[in-house]
Amino acid sequence: MVNLIWVILFVIGIAFAAVNGTMDQVNKAVFEGAREAVTICIGLISVLVFWLGLMKIAEKGGILRGLSRLLGPFVRRLFPDVPKESPAMGYILSNMSANMFGLGNAATPMGIKAMEELKKLNGNRDEASRSMITLLAINTASITLIPTTVISLRLQYGSVSPTEIVGTTIVATACSTAGAILIDRYFYYRRVRKGRG
């Protein structure tokens, strides 16, 4: 599916440029898109290096295990495939907590670590497991309590009440997260019915 979407984005884009005469923008887009991607990855180095270092201390200090014990009972039902003692649970929980507090920068390394552990649980196959799809769904729905970037943006443009959107954001994010979980479950049971669960 991703293969198809990727090709379609290119083909439709180039066809459009041919008709609309925007070929020069497309040329620019190729190089600028590539540069933006590399810039993002280079920017990620600092974040990944620092937070993965810190998380290793948290793991060895038993803090991740503590977090799993504390919050695990609530989240375990979302990830029934993940064994209780697996370090994946600690990383999943830190990823979710970081997202909730709007710490996107810290959430990414933990999400990646969680994916790594989930991959080990899945026998290192290059296929997305049930739990991986669930974790991804929760992340794209991005459960948020404090949307810090948006608040600072509103502040910058002179809002009289920059934080008034916190309430609506929490409600909207709760709906999208609940929706993501339901959709994830629907697709899972559909896979099971087709015998590919």
Partner 1 sequence: MAVVTYLSLWIIPCLIAFILIVATIRKVPAYEAFVEGAKEGVGMSFAIIPYLVGMLVAISVFRESGAMEFFIDLIRPALHAIGVPADIVPLAMIRPLSGTGALGMTSDLIATHGPDSFIGRLASTMQGSTDTTFYVLTVYFGAVGIKKMGDALKVGLLADVIGIAAAITVVTIVFS
Closest CA relative to residue 147, chosen from 94, 102, 96, 97? 102
Residues 118-177 that bind partner 1 (CB under 8 A): 119, 126-128, 132-133, 135-137, 139-142, 144, 146-151, 153-154, 156-169, 171-173, 175-177
Is 71 or 133 the residue whose CB approaches partner 1 more closely?
Answer: 133
Residue 71 contacts partner 1 per CB under 8 A? no
Residue 58 contacts partner 1 per CB under 8 A? yes
Residue 85 contacts partner 1 per CB under 8 A? no
Residues 5-34 that bind partner 1 (CB under 8 A): 5-6, 9-10, 12-17, 20, 22, 25-26, 28-30, 32-34
Which residue type occupies 49?
V
Distances (CA, A) of 112 to 7, 105, 157, 168: 26, 12, 34, 29
Please choose, out of 73-81, 85-93, 102-110, the segment that lies near partner 1 by the rule CB under 8 A: 102-110
Say how far apart CA 45 and CA 43 lie, in whole Å.
5
Closest CA relative to residue 142, chosen from 165, 111, 168, 176? 176
